[in-house]
């Protein structure tokens, strides 16, 4: 993110009254540490050393900015309209595709066991869902590489910011086979 975009984001958060500076931590610092944690996947303890702040302060300001960004996203990010074209032909009532992928990451030595996948690579498991227009409608990053696709999907369906299946539709196409039945969600298997 360049300096101008960063300043625009900070100004927008302040103008909307979503993030306010304190006597000790400015809005720029709050947003900066939030973006630092997201960009580098650092723990609060590590960022606390960089910013010379306690873990409690880092956690409080990270969550403050996170809540602000989530509120802002509701008005700034429009969900794509479901495609009316029947591009998928043979996949009747299929409204999209769902799959997990592994992305190689660098983690501390103590955490490597959790992130080691079945191919022995250190990865994070990311769930992605797209609609018939190939636009992402849901992404759940951050799971350890050792986590199965079904475990990540189950979490996506149960969490507060859950993956929602469009009303009246029930089929998503999944390329890799795994057995799962999640209520109204039916995963088409090949």
Greater pLDDT, 86 or 74: 74
d(CA 181, CA 184): 8
Using alpha carbons, list the distances in angstroms from residue 168 to 68, 83, 95, 164, 185.
32, 14, 10, 12, 11
Q: Is residue 127 part of a domain?
A: yes
Burial class (CB in 10 A: 0-12, 13-18, 19+), 35: middle
- The verdict on residue 181 lying in a domain is yes
- Indicate whether 39 pLDDT > 70: yes
126 and 59 housed in the same domain: no
Strands in 19-159 per DSSP E: 94-104, 123-131, 136-144
pLDDT tops 90 at residue 4:
yes
Domain end call among 47, 76, 105: 76
116 with 161, same domain: the answer is yes
Domain that holds residue 157: 94-188
Least confident of 24-28, 50-54, 112-116, 174-178: 174-178
Same domain, 99 and 157: yes
Domain end marker among 76, 111, 129: 76
Render pLDDT for 133-175 as a digit per residue (tens, 0 to 9).
Answer: 777 888 998 889 888 888 888 888 888 888 887 666 555 555 4
Q: How many structural domains does the chain have?
A: 2
| Structure tokens belonging to residue 89 | 């032909």
C-alpha span between 188 and 176 (Å, rounded): 10
User: Is position 105 within any domain?
Assistant: yes
Rg (CA), the chain: 20
**Residue 169 and residue 137 share a domain:** yes
| Distance from C-alpha of 38 to C-alpha of 33, rounded to nearest angstrom | 9
> Is pLDDT at 180 greater than 60 in this prediction?
no
Contact 176, 99 (CB under 8 A): yes
């Amino acid at each position: 993110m360049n300096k101008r975009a960063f300043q625009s984001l900070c100004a927008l958060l302040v103008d909307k009254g979503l993030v306010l500076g304190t006597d000790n931590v400015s809005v720029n610092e709050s947003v900066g540490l939030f973006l630092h944690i997201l960009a580098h996947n650092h723990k609060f303890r590590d960022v606390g050393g960089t910013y010379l702040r306690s873990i409690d302060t880092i956690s409080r300001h990270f969550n403050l900015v996170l809540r602000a960004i989530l509120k802002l996203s509701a008005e700034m990010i429009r969900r794509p309209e479901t495609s009316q074209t029947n591009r998928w032909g043979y996949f009747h009532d299929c409204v999209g595709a769902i799959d997990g992928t592994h992305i190689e990451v660098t983690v501390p030595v103590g955490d490597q066991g959790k992130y080691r996948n079945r191919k022995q690579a250190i990865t994070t498991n990311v769930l992605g869902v797209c609609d018939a227009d190939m636009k992402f409608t849901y992404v759940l990053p951050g799971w350890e590489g050792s986590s199965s696709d079904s475990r990540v999907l189950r979490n996506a369906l149960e969490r507060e910011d859950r993956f929602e299946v469009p009303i009246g539709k029930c089929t998503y196409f999944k390329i890799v086979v795994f057995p799962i039945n999640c209520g109204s969600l039916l995963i088409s298997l090949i």
